[in-house]
Chains A and B, each alone.
Chain A
Amino acid sequence: MNIALLTSEIAVLVLGLLIIIFDVLIPRQETHRSLGYIAACGVLAILVHSMTQYGAAATVYQGLFVVDNLALFFKQLFLAATFLTLLFSVEYVEKWIQNSGEFYALLLFALLGMMVMASANDLITMFIGMELMAIVFYALVGFELRSKKSSEAGMKYLMLGAASSAIMLYGMSWVYGFTGSLVLSQIAVKATASPAMLLGMGLMLAGLCFKLSIVPFHMWAPDVYEGAPTPITAMLAMGSKAAAFAVLIRVFLIAFSDLQEYWATIVSLLAAASMIVGIVVAIWQTNIKRMLAYSSIAQAGYILSGLLAGNVAGVKGMLFYAVLYMFATAGAFAVSTAVKNHNGSDEIEGFSGLAQKSPLLAVVMTISLLSMAGLPPMAGFVGKLYLFTAIADKGYLWLVILGFVMSMISVYYYMLVVKTMYSKARDQQEFVVRGSLQVVAVISLLASLFIGIYPGPLAKLANFAAQALW
């Protein structure tokens, strides 16, 4: 047993506690902006440190906690997402959220939950990590105390999230009941297509789909995304979703890999439904966060489809896509945050004239949205290509066609935003953008383009990570 493998998690926890302490120590008239920067620096440091951990494939505590490349890949994804979120949220938090110390600390605890999820190799650890993340997010969604929407969103998220946890737990209990084990690899050994197993698997899938906001378990997402503070919305889209995917990949490709012929059909239908619903409903949205919520539903459908391949290529596609989606989302939410800070509204109309007021942000938004849509040469295209080659190889050509068609339709509403940005400005107010937010914008822009044009390195890394499962 090697405690060193847990360095990242411990560091995150310590960082979170430090933030709480600093929050108390810092005098009241201070803006608490420094807390955000401390957190960001700390996360960055952990991210950099975690680079050294590649190649390890060890487990801690009787194989219940595994540190392999896949886990590490996801952890770095979460760290990067948190880092970007912290950077662009400083001004937002200062402006709209009172309890900034608690905010940053809880965000770090959520990060810890995600990291645990990525490494969890048994159902209990997995569950507890997921609940840590979820409960923190329930609180954070309702953290914008002056906003009625925020509390409503928090309430909805909590109720539905708890209900979905119950469903998943119920499913887990059946899986445990049939196999007599909670460890994934042992479940895999004993799993057969018995009714109890299928019932448990189905309910677990349903519970996970809730976290992934897969149709028809998606209905909370738009409301919660809309009501939550923008950085939290971003984290929900980037982090919580990716963490659920980490769990999904492990559970379905290790524990339930022998039952693939059973779940594949269901998963393909769920993926297809997500693509369709996410995209056709997004067309109607006038609120940028709500629109991005529907878009993220569709994106989840795309990532989910990679599971169907059930091989390295498929997982590689999922990992690749999760990363590029993370960057695109960071860019889009960073710009949304800037706009909200500017005019206090999340409505898409508020973006009008952005291209003249701040060309950089307009370009970042455009590139991010189109990366989500999957237009070359943005990263989203290559991501879809990896996913779809993997699943088409398994014969899901219908899903490939559907996916491509829906992604092209999605351009419609992304374009509406782009059009708004390039139309005439409503007001002539000076548009001030904080440096840290600009950093995020530029990072996401460069990442979206670089990954799209030269996907080699990331693909190699994703491949490396995906191989950890086999």
Chain B
Amino acid sequence: MNEWAYTAAFFIFAAVTVASAVGVVTKNDLVHSSLLLALCFVGVSGLYVLLQADFLAAVQLLVYNGAIAIVFVLGTMLTRRSIRHGTNHSEADAPSRLIGLISGLFVAVTLGVIATTPWNYSSAGAVQDTPAVLGRLILTDYMIAMEVAAVLLLAAMIGAIVLAKGVDEE
């Protein structure tokens, strides 16, 4: 791929991701936040593509944008409108400066770590047929994890149903 195009694409996706993430946490309206979150997910899936994880980029779009973001929007809609407006402000008594500081420090520390760590880069080429490789991995080595994840989803479903259904008013 073209070096320049790759760099440009990275910066665009990165900018979309970070900017929409900032929007998610700063927007006052929950619906706006939800939509920006979806945008952010798109940016992230773009980054995945740049990292040659095509399958995951697709999954990201499907699951996050298709499911999670929609669920958020729905959830926001279902709760009453009055709580949506003007209530997505930052918590008044939260020490937001301090939190900002912590977040900033976090980034700083991480950047330091990134800079100082001697990474063991691999020179091997990327796997081309990712879905097949992933499929094999999941169904062999990570078989148990896979099964457990299935149970997890089942359990989450049961739990979510019971919780959302609420008390039977007999």
A residues neighboring B (CB under 8 Å): 6, 13, 20, 60-62, 64-65, 98-99, 102, 105-106, 109, 112-113, 116, 124-125, 128-129, 131-132, 135-136, 138-140, 142-143, 145-146, 154, 174, 177-178, 180, 190, 194-197, 199
Contact = CB atoms under 8 A, between A and B. Distances in A.
A61 B148 contact: no
Contacts of B155: 106, 109, 132, 135-136, 139
A381 B112 CA distance: 46
Interface string B77-119: 0000000000000000000000000000000011011101111
B143 interface: yes
Given A61-B144, A177-B119, A178-B120, A140 B159 contact: yes
Interface stretch (B53-61, B125-133, B162-170): B162-170
A62 B122 contact: no
A125 B142 contact: yes
Interface string B131-155: 0000000001111110011011011
6 contacts: A13-B151, A60-B144, A98-B167, A125-B144, A194-B117, A195-B116
Contact of B151 (A6, A65, A109, A194): A109
Contacts of A135: 152, 155-156, 159
Interface of B: 109-110, 112-114, 116-120, 122, 140-145, 148-149, 151-152, 154-156, 158-160, 162-163, 166-168
Nearest to B109: A199
B147 to A, nearest CB: 8
A113 B143 CA distance: 15
A195 B117 CA distance: 6
B63 to A, nearest CB: 16
Nearest to A103: B162
A126 to B, nearest CB: 9
Given A194-B117, A196-B113, A65 B163 contact: no
B167 A146 contact: yes
B163 A64 contact: no
Contact of A102 (B122, B151, B162): B162
A154 B122 CA distance: 44
Given A112-B148, A140-B159, A178-B119, A199 B167 contact: no
